[in-house]
Amino acid sequence: MPTRPCLINPKKSRSEPSIGPLAYMIPLPTDLNRLSRLFLERGRLIYKNIFMRIFHWDDRTDPLALAGPFQGAPQAVMVLEKLIVLGAKRVVLFGWTGSLDPTLEPGDLILAEEAVSEEGTSRHYSKDLRPRASASLLGELGADLKGEGIPFKQGPVWTTDAPYRETAEKVKRFQAEGVLGVDMETSALYTVGAFRGIDVAALLVVSDDLSQLKWRHGFQEKKFLESRRKTARFLHRFALL
């Protein structure tokens, strides 16, 4: 753990329950609500605030947190810091990404093994601008996806604070480096995970496409909508193993 003192530190309040080691971070409200409904089929909601829902099952000792909604690296990191002080040791981000790879289309899955940081939050934690996912958690997710026959592509993503500054020049540069997609949270979460000594991995659904140097969104495409449902069901099963 870092030793340099800070004026403000994440804390657990008296009203907040401790949680088990696994937690999910879900930026979009629709995905958060869908996964919440799945967990309510077997468990009960024991705590809720604007950024978090905590569920408990009678046959399991550890409550599980679903964190969200949130947007962008600064807010995501504040949520992650809170999860850590509540007890999280293994955190999975379930988010969306724009594709930079012409072989990927809306609805495809990316398991992000590392992230190129172009957001500002990471720099307050580390000088490493290409943080990596937890190898063990990434491996578990990949093995279970393969075991269930769910296709995915593994590789790096690019994280930015400025979606309206995703230029053609940047897209071409990152394509040449083998970067698969672009999002707004992954690099910051990987950086903080390494800084705090916990495991973090991101499973991202392709929502739109920049690979042809023009924007094509797939937010209403059938494959994208179905993939989000399948991914929520997969993560539900992954948590209850």
Q: What are the pLDDT tens digits along the chain (241 aa)?
A: 455 789 999 999 999 999 999 999 999 999 999 999 999 998 999 999 999 999 998 877 789 999 999 999 999 999 999 999 999 999 999 999 999 999 999 999 999 999 999 999 999 999 999 999 999 999 999 999 999 999 999 999 999 999 999 999 999 999 999 999 999 999 999 999 999 999 999 999 999 999 999 999 999 999 999 999 999 999 999 998 8
- The answer regarding whether domain 22-240 maps to CATH 3.40.50.720 reads no
Integer Cα distance of 36 and 32 in angstroms: 6
pLDDT at 45: 96
Integer Cα distance of 143 and 87 in angstroms: 25
pLDDT at 5: 85
Integer Cα distance of 211 and 208 in angstroms: 9
**Cβ pair 218, 1 in contact under 8 A:** no
* SS3 category, 180: coil
* CA angle, 166 then 169 then 170, to 5°: 50
Integer Cα distance of 101 and 41 in angstroms: 37
Return the domain boundaries, the chain.
22-240
Integer Cα distance of 21 and 83 in angstroms: 9
Integer Cα distance of 153 and 28 in angstroms: 22
For 165-197, b/e burial (b = at least 16 CB within 10 A) is ebeeebbeebbeeebbbbbbbbbbbbbbbbbbe
